[in-house]
Structure 1
């Protein structure tokens, strides 16, 4: 080969090698920079640390950013909206009894109050109540929707907040001068205020339930004798307190008051027996005449609890349905008792309560395990939490069940006026369902 040709070939190969080295180096540079660019805060920290090794805080921040990106990706035809103002993981939800507000609390030291009329809007404004030097793990509205109670994570106690409406129509929040006394030894499971406004309940995992007056004095204490509690709640009617746990039954007590409003006693009312293993969770219908229970035996059960228990009448088991569940799973019953929702990890299944048929499956609703699950008081939406977002889901199975019930009534109706009214209601419900199904999914 001629020296000139050899020189040219050498230069060409050298140029190619340089090009490859530059490209590879550039790719490596991009690959090492991309993780650092996930958040502005992380970039600023790395610059300050002069490219020092990543701290634990930075790693957690990167993980949180990836989770935030993942939660943005959830979409489903029944997803009405996602409420995303919290800066921490949402742990509890509660609707006000007038249906106007949804309260949520998170580990970002805030309680947020949302307007339910904004659920279908593009923007979801909320009011913020700050929890000083602590954060709330549970929140519950008062019966008049003018106050709420919280359970403090670090304080291990109840704090009451009053919602004060200002002249401009907005609310301000004022904490009570003193928190409740510390009484529980185990981790707290739930709190609640009776719809009658006569008492507050708190329950912990160590089988204890306390009944308080509104001033923070303990009226009575219950030992559930279930080895461990997994859930406890007040019935929507405000008469009963129920609990479930390691044993395969749900125990229900009546909190009794005299005619003049004085506290009398806590009396055992009835039990729900029929599961073959411990009960994870339970829920009431809005009129307290139905209950659903969710067990580690892989079933949920629907009960008629509208019984005269003082005459030794036991609740009626209406249906048993197989489902997926695990420790931490939750169950919710729509206000009209037509739909049952069950969470399993980050997934939600919706069943027809009468037939037991699986109507909808929503997978990966949240990044983490679902922490709360409940229907709004009108039964239009199912809401759930599990990360920094709150998912608002159209209750399409509820529309279908209502249409089916009205069609059955129409076939049996003999009065012409009744037939016309039912036909109109069926058409309205069908139109509402069609609108829900035709709407583009929210994100």
Structure 2
């Protein structure tokens, strides 16, 4: 298990054999080339159960580690624990940092997702971890969740056989709760994962070795891919551009074109075109639709490997 610390050109790993967290930093060699060198010491072993997820804030300000019990630790980049969270979910099934780097969220045995804000001062000093909001509405435990790139949307998948879409762009400091936008039936099982495209237009759900892709706006099933791996899918996410869906399993990585994303973008632009009053805007949208349709046609014409 690993993740990047992009602002510092480093990456963090969880080493299963030693049950330890280790940071590798990029260094320059004498010949001008680069290499990665492990930090002098591993992070201290603070978890009492196996680590489930690790993550790095996009801001580079903190690292998160979550274990299979109910603990989450917030670390600085030197391996000092800034704060510890007890999720009170009996067990954790998934945890992650939001793409904006402000929030840490977890889900587990209980039918909700809990979200905290990791707060820093104007000078960059750590202040506190405070509860932001909860996603409540499933009738059974939540397997996993995902954020859109701006953290204004979240998707969740549950043991109750549904995935839900939420509007999380709320004033939670004024006690405003997230809005449930949509509930969609889906196949799910222990270990199911969910991914949301960066623009929030597509939701992908894994179930065993299968993947289903949905239009987030309508909830319609767009694509189904069966037997993607010989074993259960272990990770599922979109790339930063939203053009590709990537999954891993049985020591292999598979990459798929996000065709539903192209279709959703075309539909959105067609709706905008109907409402456009300005001729220049109409021409711009028509050109963008043409380009998106051409890209989709190329994707659909490409032979499957």
TM-score for the superposition, normalised by structure 1: 0.67
Q: Deviations over 1:205-244 (max 9, x none)?
A: 1100001111101111000001111011111111111000
Whether contact under 8 Å (1:143, 1:194) holds in the other structure is no
Cross-structure match for 2:60: 197
Using the alignment, how far apart are the partners of 1:342 and 1:187 within structure 2? 25
> Is 1:279 matched with 2:142?
yes
The 3-state SS of whatever aligns with 2:59 is coil
Cross-structure match for 2:2: 139
Q: In structure 2, which of residues 25, 37, 43 is the aligned counterpart of residue 162 of structure 1?
A: 25
Once superposed, what is the RMSD of the aligned Cα atoms?
Answer: 1.3
> Is 1:432 matched with 2:295?
yes
The 3-state SS of whatever aligns with 2:6 is coil
Whether contact under 8 Å (2:8, 2:60) holds in the other structure is no
Matches within 5 A, 1:192-341: 192-341=55-204
Return 5+ residue gaps in structure 2 as ranges.
none
The 3-state SS of whatever aligns with 1:423 is helix
Using the alignment, how far apart are the partners of 2:28 and 2:269 within structure 1? 41
Using the alignment, how far apart are the partners of 2:33 and 2:303 within structure 1? 32
Using the alignment, how far apart are the partners of 2:293 and 2:31 within structure 1? 40
1:188: how far off? 1.0
Q: In structure 1, which of residues 162, 173, 181 is the aligned counterpart of residue 36 of structure 2?
A: 173
Cα distance change of structure 1 residues 188 and 375 upon mapping to structure 2, 3 Å threshold:
same
1:196: how far off? 1.5
The 3-state SS of whatever aligns with 2:60 is coil
Report which stretch shifted further, 368-377 or 183-192. 183-192
Cα distance change of structure 1 residues 301 and 164 upon mapping to structure 2, 3 Å threshold:
same
> Is 1:374 matched with 2:237?
yes
Cα distance change of structure 1 residues 219 and 349 upon mapping to structure 2, 3 Å threshold:
same
Question: Of Structure 1 and Structure 2, which has the larger fraction of its residues in helix?
Answer: 1
Using the alignment, how far apart are the partners of 2:26 and 2:267 within structure 1? 41
1:165: how far off? 5.8
**Highest RCO, 1 vs 2 (Cα 8 Å, sep ≥ 6):** 1
TM-score for the superposition, normalised by structure 2: 0.97
Using the alignment, how far apart are the partners of 2:26 and 2:6 within structure 1? 13
Cross-structure match for 2:14: 151
Using the alignment, how far apart are the partners of 1:170 and 1:331 within structure 2? 38
Using the alignment, how far apart are the partners of 2:32 and 2:228 within structure 1? 34
The 3-state SS of whatever aligns with 1:215 is coil
The 3-state SS of whatever aligns with 1:238 is coil
How many residues are matched?
305
1:163: how far off? 2.7
Return 5+ residue gaps in structure 1 as ranges.
1-137
Question: Of Structure 1 and Structure 2, which has the larger fraction of its residues in strand?
Answer: 2
1:171: how far off? 4.1
1:388: how far off? 2.2
Using the alignment, how far apart are the partners of 2:267 and 2:178 within structure 1? 26
* Higher radius of gyration, 1 or 2: 1
Cα distance change of structure 1 residues 334 and 166 upon mapping to structure 2, 3 Å threshold:
farther
Report which stretch shifted further, 170-179 or 251-260. 170-179
Using the alignment, how far apart are the partners of 1:166 and 1:440 within structure 2? 43
Report which stretch shifted further, 237-246 or 140-149. 140-149
Whether contact under 8 Å (1:359, 1:397) holds in the other structure is yes
The 3-state SS of whatever aligns with 1:144 is helix
